[in-house]
Chains A and B, each alone.
Chain A
């Protein structure tokens, strides 16, 4: 017996009171997502790390103890000291300061690449999945063409031909990555395309654009968020790899990839540089992944209600 069995009596219902009660009980969407997110300790930890990184990146000029590009040839590959808490590199530049400025580059690349490639990929994936037919064919064959190249080689070629600096790296990595978003999005669209709620939406008179934005997009969003949080660290890694290989951001601008590169050359003299810059990449990547996991669970209303 469910408790709503009694509803059959046509009793008069006080609408005012019902609406009043309802307003009291209502919790906003964002609150619900946050409540759920909070329960995942690892995700919370990841979020803390990310916030710290962002603060460091924003306030690097204030927080950094030294100028990151100032060399000191009398004090190269130094071990930690009070003046240089994480030592110095082969040119005597302060490792901690370079790490802090490197965080700027890393976050900028990670976020920009994912926003740009995610935007392009999700849009094209939605179009391909919902339109179908020759439009789908054209988009997906383009994706295949992009995927046919080994990603790093492709990025290397692009970054080389686009010249040095931050934006060529972003464009190169972004061009490699949009295909993944497009594929995931299209796959998700196809999996819910035949759900009856799409046809129900048509039956109540929703326009095609609204169906895409209100019915398809929210249902694929959890997958996209997870994808994005996997792709941000991937973009950071790819950019680091490109820097390691010598294209993209050029010295003396500090990037974590470049630091790993020069650190690895002098590893036998002072392993600290390669270790801390490597650790910075690992921690950032992990933090994004934790947050992504937490967000996916928090965004899914089916899981949201659980314990």
Chain B
């Protein structure tokens, strides 16, 4: 059962150099209760995808479904009330909190907007409860963001996103601004919250190992396109798309003696002028002549979906 689904979603930005095709024809789905990992290099459009799905930026074309309902053209009041069910945690917790608002205010607003509580007492209980789930204490309610550490700020961001008990949460590299010890803690908290609130995650990251640890399914993006999507374990055990293979190979191994071959050569092409055929063809070690002509569609193969001419 799909909680979130996109159909040929496109998001283009106009820039001075031309149209940047940040998200180009992506059809992706998040199944209820799962964690979908989305990986890809910087600039491949994964953050834009997350923001577009939540309608924080308007899609250029395509459709977005939430819980079976088309929300692509939902606007104003209707969209705002739907925000109760979906939320996002951003990469940089410093910028994601209003410096003029205390933690209390940050948790208070969503609860007030969506009429989640009847009394001040109930509200406080809820806040303290969610803070405790996130490993924070009631005393943090009266703190301003600058009085918190980076990890605490991010936990407040997650608490804010979770206090409405949403069905769907986009986690946009929620740990990349934090140091490693805090990262694992946040991941554990996210896992705990998932079980407690029965929320589905879309976990966006460029950290392959992190995604491996947390995802049920995995989507791999390259230059605004989804190139492979399927069961996380399957893909990690046996990546099929040449890009996925190369991406996994480029993860540093903790063995100094192992010979490292550079799996990817060349630069990521500019999203302003993506290659005519398969976007990965210029860097692909297995590219054929058809790859440079035709853009491969996402097709079913090996129990997953792959966009590559090799698997036709």
Q: Which residues of A contact B (CB under 8 A)?
A: 2, 4, 7-8, 13, 15, 18-19, 21-22, 25-27, 195-197, 199-207, 214-215, 218-219, 221, 301-302, 304-305
List 11 extra interface pairs beyond A15-B124, A199-B56, A302-B146, CB under 8 A.
A4-B152, A18-B137, A19-B121, A22-B124, A22-B138, A196-B90, A202-B83, A204-B164, A205-B83, A207-B80, A305-B144
Chain A residue with Cβ nearest B98: A197
A22 partner residues in chain B, CB cutoff 8 A: 124, 138-139, 141-142
Centre residue among B84, B90, B114 by max chain A CB count within 10 A: B90
- Beta-carbon contact of A13 and B128 below 8 Å: yes
Compute how far the CA of A196 lies from the CA of B161 in the bound complex, rounded to whole angstroms.
Answer: 14
Contact of A196 (CB < 8 Å), options: B54, B92, B160:
B92
- Beta-carbon contact of B128 and A200 below 8 Å: no
B110 to chain A, nearest CB (A): 4
Compute how far the CA of A15 lies from the CA of B100 in the bound complex, rounded to whole angstroms.
Answer: 26
**Can you list 21 pairs linking A and B with CB atoms under 8 Å apart?**
A13-B128, A15-B128, A18-B138, A18-B139, A19-B125, A19-B138, A21-B139, A196-B90, A196-B96, A197-B95, A197-B99, A199-B88, A200-B88, A200-B97, A203-B56, A205-B81, A207-B80, A221-B100, A302-B144, A305-B146, A305-B147
Is B109's CB within 8 Å of the partner chain A?
yes
A205 partner residues in chain B, CB cutoff 8 A: 80-81, 83-84, 110, 113-114
- Beta-carbon contact of B100 and A218 below 8 Å: yes
Compute how far the CA of A97 lies from the CA of B114 in the bound complex, rounded to whole angstroms.
Answer: 60
Compute how far the CA of A215 lies from the CA of B146 in the bound complex, rounded to whole angstroms.
Answer: 16
Is B188's CB within 8 Å of the partner chain A?
yes
Cβ-Cβ contact count across A and B, 8 Å cutoff: 111
Q: Report the interface size class on chain B.
A: 35 or more
Compute how far the CA of A67 lies from the CA of B152 in the bound complex, rounded to whole angstroms.
Answer: 65
B77 to chain A, nearest CB (A): 8
B95 partner residues in chain A, CB cutoff 8 A: 195-197
- Beta-carbon contact of A301 and B146 below 8 Å: yes
- Beta-carbon contact of A219 and B128 below 8 Å: no
A199 partner residues in chain B, CB cutoff 8 A: 51, 56, 88, 90
- Beta-carbon contact of A8 and B137 below 8 Å: no
A160 to chain B, nearest CB (A): 44
Is B233's CB within 8 Å of the partner chain A?
no
B67 partner residues in chain A, CB cutoff 8 A: none
If A19-B128, A197-B97, A204-B113 touch, whether A7 touches B135 (CB-CB below 8 Å) is yes
Compute how far the CA of A172 lies from the CA of B139 in the bound complex, rounded to whole angstroms.
Answer: 51
If A4-B135, A13-B128, A305-B146 touch, whether A197 touches B96 (CB-CB below 8 Å) is yes
- Beta-carbon contact of A204 and B87 below 8 Å: yes
Question: Which residues 21-79 of B have a CB within 8 angstroms of A?
Answer: 51, 54, 56
A4 partner residues in chain B, CB cutoff 8 A: 135-137, 152
Is B132's CB within 8 Å of the partner chain A?
yes
Is B8's CB within 8 Å of the partner chain A?
no
B84 partner residues in chain A, CB cutoff 8 A: 205
B157 partner residues in chain A, CB cutoff 8 A: 200
Is B231's CB within 8 Å of the partner chain A?
no
Contact of A200 (CB < 8 Å), options: B114, B144, B146, B160:
B160
A206 partner residues in chain B, CB cutoff 8 A: 80, 109, 113
- Beta-carbon contact of B83 and A201 below 8 Å: no
Q: Mark B96-138, 1 if CB is under 8 A from A, else 0.
A: 1111110000000110011000000100110011001001111
